[in-house]
């Protein structure tokens, strides 16, 4: 039995109930009806339960998912966390003034940094924070100072915390040979292709066409898989992210939008608009804000001189009263403070640990902590991002992208960059075996054409 993850109605419903609770929607009657029919309200962390529900329960789950979609969001939340771009802009602070141009070294650093940070997190994705520490300690890599390895790993630790199955053959120090494929790199490639083919005026329809033409359905997850399914079911791109989608506040859109910032150096407002257009296909509210924050922060990172400038640019495009902005501010508060790293991470997990490991809010807080505590130091930032757990490859990638852009490729540590061999594997047509320096040149050409 296939049991495709992130699509089974009986598994989506518990996630939808959790999302509704977070949004203060009253789903009491729906929850009781589901329980009374024999349904579980425990959301599966892995995306699918082992066995299928019977046809009647699956049909009921679809009906109840539609019922949840029809429950209005409380007015106070709609005001604090709008969806429409103009309303988001009205609720966000003013964007800062930044230098308008970048250079090849900084864009190259952003691509390389994204890859190295992602690669560090890949083999420990889905492993809890205590497992990451146990593995690193067992192999003499604690605090984390290099890629993970099996050399010297205690057998009991290995059995208790198995590597990510798909990443183990390509993402350990002893077998890294270039950057292996990952959705955290595939999506920036999709974005670069859109900017090259269509230009900055691309629409959400263009994003949908690109996904259907270039992304196999098995290469997308959570909200992206729901949107993909809805497109195939005939829903238009403008609504595909809003139908039976309990993952619209998760991290998927946040991992897609660095490239829009690199293509809009010093223009966080424009970068955020491109990110919103892309993210609208699959996300709403805080999911949108994650995409916009990263695009704006990346726009600053390729021109700015400090991490404070980067964080400020990111926060300038998201509603100040949103939960996303609060998560970033909390991560920054802990990052700028003097609490020891492990205690600060304990605090983040205590405050955000109720959320799924790929929700956007917990991962945003961790990202902000890693960026501010490191002060922009590349090696420290990606190590902290992965040490913190949750979505290790995605947060590692974004931290690496921002710090790599701040530093520039020429300043990045060789021990992190040399194993990439200037090569990226991808199933995106035309991008397999791409060279990072070539991707940087193409990105800079797009930035220059958009600035002309």
Annotated binding residues, written as ranges, equal: 391, 393-394
- Which of 395, 275, 262 lies closest to 328 in space, CA to CA? 395
Cβ partners under 8 Å of residue 306, min gap 6? 376
Computed on alpha carbons and rounded to an integer, the radius of gyration of the chain in Å comes to 21
For 359, the token pair is 């929700």
Give the integer Cα–Cα distance in Å for 127 and 388.
11
The residues with which 179 forms a beta bridge, in sequence order, are 424
DSSP letters, 337-399, are S-S-HHHHHHHHHHHHTTS-TTBHHHHHHHHHHHHHHHTT-HHHHHHHHHHT-SSHHHHHHHH
Q: With beta carbons less than 8 A apart as the criterion, state whether 66 and 28 touch.
A: no
Place of tokens 């990110």: 275
165, 166, 167, 172: CA torsion to nearest 10: 60
Give the integer Cα–Cα distance in Å for 441 and 159.
44
Q: With beta carbons less than 8 A apart as the criterion, state whether 396 and 118 touch.
A: yes
Cβ partners under 8 Å of residue 92, min gap 6? 316, 317, 318, 319, 320
Q: Is 429 exposed, middle or buried, given 0-12, 13-18 or 19+ CB atoms closer than 10 A?
A: exposed
For 409, the token pair is 């490729």
Which run of H or E residues covers position 272?
A: helix 268-279
Binding residues for Mg(2+): 391, 393-394
Rounded to 10°, the helix 129-138/378-387 angle is: 120
- Which of 374, 376, 401, 407 lies closest to 388 in space, CA to CA? 374
Give the integer Cα–Cα distance in Å for 321 and 291.
17
């Amino acid at each position: 039995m296939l049991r495709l993850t992130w699509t089974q109605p009986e598994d989506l419903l518990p996630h939808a109930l959790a999302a509704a609770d977070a949004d203060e929607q009253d789903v009491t009657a729906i929850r009781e009806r589901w329980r009374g029919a024999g349904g579980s309200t425990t959301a599966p962390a892995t995306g699918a339960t082992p066995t299928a529900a019977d046809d009647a329960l699956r049909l009921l789950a679809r009906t109840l998912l539609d019922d949840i979609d029809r429950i209005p969001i409380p007015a106070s939340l709609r005001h604090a966390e709008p969806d429409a771009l103009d309303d988001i802009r009205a609720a966000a602070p003013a964007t800062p003034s930044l230098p308008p141009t970048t250079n090849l070294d900084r864009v190259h650093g952003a691509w390389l940094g994204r890859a190295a940070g992602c690669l560090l997190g890949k083999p420990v994705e889905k492993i809890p924070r205590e497992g990451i520490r146990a593995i690193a300690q067992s192999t003499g890599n604690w605090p984390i100072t290099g890629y993970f390895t099996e050399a010297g790993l205690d057998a009991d630790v290995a059995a208790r915390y198995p590597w990510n199955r798909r990443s183990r053959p390509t993402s350990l120090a002893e077998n890294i040979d270039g950057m292996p494929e990952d959705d955290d790199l595939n999506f920036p490639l999709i974005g670069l292709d859109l900017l090259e083919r269509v230009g900055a005026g691309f629409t959400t329809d263009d994003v949908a066409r690109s996904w259907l033409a270039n992304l196999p359905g098995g290469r997308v997850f959570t909200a992206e898989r729901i949107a993909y399914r809805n497109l195939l079911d005939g829903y238009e791109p403008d609504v595909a992210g809003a139908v039976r989608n309990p993952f619209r506040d998760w991290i998927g859109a946040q991992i897609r939008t660095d490239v829009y910032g690199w293509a809009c150096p010093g223009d966080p407002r424009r970068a955020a608009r491109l990110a919103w257009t892309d993210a609208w296909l699959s996300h709403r509210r805080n999911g949108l804000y994650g995409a916009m924050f990263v695009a704006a922060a990346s726009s600053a990172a390729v021109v700015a001189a400090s991490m404070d400038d980067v964080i400020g640019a990111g926060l300038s495009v998201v509603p100040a009263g949103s939960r996303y902005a609060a998560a970033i501010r909390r991560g920054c508060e802990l990052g700028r403070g003097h609490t020891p790293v492990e205690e600060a991470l304990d605090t983040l997990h205590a405050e955000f640990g109720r959320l799924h490991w790929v929700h956007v809010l917990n991962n945003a807080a961790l990202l902000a902590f890693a960026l501010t505590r490191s002060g922009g130091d590349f090696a420290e930032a990606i190590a902290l991002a992965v040490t913190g757990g949750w979505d290790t490859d995605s947060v590692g990638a974004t931290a690496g992208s921002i710090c790599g852009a701040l530093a520039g490729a020429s300043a990045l540590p060789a021990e992190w960059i040399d194993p990439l061999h200037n090569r990226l594997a991808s199933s995106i047509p035309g991008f397999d075996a791409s060279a990072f320096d070539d991707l940087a040149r193409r990105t800079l050409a797009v930035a220059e054409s958009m600035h002309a």
